[in-house]
Amino acid sequence: MKPIEKPWQEFRDARNYVERMKVSSTFDSYERDFKNSLHCLERAWNKSVAHLGRSPKYQGWTRRGQVEKLRRQDSLLSYLVNARGADEHTVEDITSRSGGGVGISPAEGGSMHIINLVVDGHGSMSLETDRPITVTFFPNRVVLQPVVNRGREYPVPKSHLGTALDSSDPVELVLIGIGFYENYLREAEIHFIK
């Protein structure tokens, strides 16, 4: 069997979109790159199957069946597949936007007393407390939504292969998905080509 090339290019493209997500300055570009990464990931899978399917041994390869089952049953893989499908075939949003904010808490201990708080009309604020404080800024972000594809709802994933996930980070979820499929393709190359 000839070396597998096309899926690897799709993985590289998916990773490039993820890198663009990391430095994106707008919701629109972040969301567009997220969706593009999903499309590349699914194209990589489809091209892998098309290439490997040329081998008569592929249909009987145990790992193929395991991964196809995981694509349906694993929370993360199923979500990525169906988020791409929902984006491609429906008009429903697969993401939403969450405004940022500011968190103020005592630097040590469990409570503080605010002595004086002044907010002017220009968005400036001054704060006087009885102890040192910690200020945390929460940026605006894109939030994944449950998706409906072909009449079935797929919740935002909370695990992958039995391991808990931080489902609030689309970058991390896509990178885990890319890594999973890249490992599968490496296994296939070893099994069918080398």
C-alpha radius of gyration, the chain, whole number = 22
Rounded-to-10 torsion of CA 12, 32, 177, 45: -60
What confidence tens digit (pLDDT) does each residue in 27-36 have? 899 999 999 9
Tell me the average pLDDT across 43-52. 96
Tell me the average pLDDT across 55-63. 90
Q: What is the pLDDT of residue 32?
A: 95
Give the span between the Cα atoms of 193 and 71, in whole angstroms: 24
CB 134 within 8 A of CB 107: yes
Q: Which pLDDT band, with edges at 50, 70 and 90, does 2 fall under?
A: confident
Consecutive H or E run containing 142:
strand 141-144
* Tokens 């998916």, located at residue: 14
Q: Which amino acid is at 139?
A: P
Q: What is the pLDDT of residue 39?
A: 98
Instruction: Check whether 102 has a pLDDT greater than 90.
Output: no
Angle between helices 27-52 and 75-89 in degrees, nearest 10: 110
What confidence tens digit (pLDDT) does each residue in 127-178 have? 777 888 888 766 567 889 999 999 999 999 999 999 999 877 899 999 999 9
Residue 53 CB partners (closer than 8 Å, separation 6+): 59
Give the chain's mean pLDDT.
89
Q: What is the pLDDT of residue 43?
A: 98
Tell me the average pLDDT across 57-73. 94
